[in-house]
Structure 1
Amino acid sequence: MTAVADNRPFDVSVDRETLARLTGREREVLRHLAKGESNRVLARNLGIAERTVRAHVTSVVRKLDVGSRFEAGLVAFHHYAALAEESTSS
Structure 2
Amino acid sequence: MTASSHPVLPEERLAAGVARLAVRHQGRYSLETVQRLIADSYEQLAESAHVSTHLVVLAERFAAASPPCWIPCPAPEASPPRATLHPRLRKNR
TM-score, normalized by length of structure 1? Answer: 0.25
Q: Which has the higher helix share?
A: 1
Give the number of the structure whose alpha-carbon radius of gyration is greater.
Answer: 2
TM-score, normalized by length of structure 2? Answer: 0.25
